[in-house]
Structure 1
Amino acid sequence: MKANVGTVDRVLRLVVGLAVIAFGYMGGLTSPWNMVAIGAGSVFVLTALIKFCPLYPLLGINTCGKEG
């Protein structure tokens, strides 16, 4: 698994992911949409941490700037 998420992309994913998770928790987990927000935010945070997005190879995207 080669990294395909660059530094700027990682920072944006981390910030947006944490914001979406916080937004999901603000609702008190009373709505299914809160769980969707927490799940989506978690995916953003996870892809930022592991430097790999599984959709990028399918779309031919690499924000790393170099192979690897």
Structure 2
Amino acid sequence: MKTNVGSIDRIVRIVAGAALIAASLLDLIGPWGWIGVIPLATGIFRFCPVYLPFGFNTCSVKK
């Protein structure tokens, strides 16, 4: 599995995912907050399957 999620993208995904899960646990937004598992997982594993068909890659280019 090749990484396609860069540093800034990774941080944003992890923070947003954790915030959604926390809001759900605190009953601020209901069970829909568990959708935060998806950005959290893609941030942790540095791979987003949605990027593949579009050819997106937010990782820096290695020389």
TM over 0.5: yes
Q: Secondary structure at the match of 2:47?
A: coil
Task: Name stretches of at least 5 consecutive residues in structure 1 with no aligned partner.
Answer: none
Deviation string, structure 1 residues 12-68 (Cα, Å, up to 9, x no partner): 00111110111111118xxxx733321x2111111111110000012221000226x
Structure 1 length as normaliser, TM-score? 0.79
Distance 1:13 1:60 in 2: 19
Distance 1:34 1:3 in 2: 32
Equivalent residue pairs, number: 62
Among candidates 47, 51, 59, match of residue 56 of structure 1: 51
Alignment of 1:10-21 (within 5 A): 10-21=10-21
Distance 1:47 1:66 in 2: 20
**Structure 1 runs of 4+ off > 2 angstroms?**
33-36
Matching residue of 1:4: 4
Does the alignment pair 1:43 with 2:29? no
Question: Per-residue deviation at 1:7?
Answer: 0.4
RMSD of aligned C-alpha atoms? 1.8
Q: Secondary structure at the match of 2:3?
A: coil
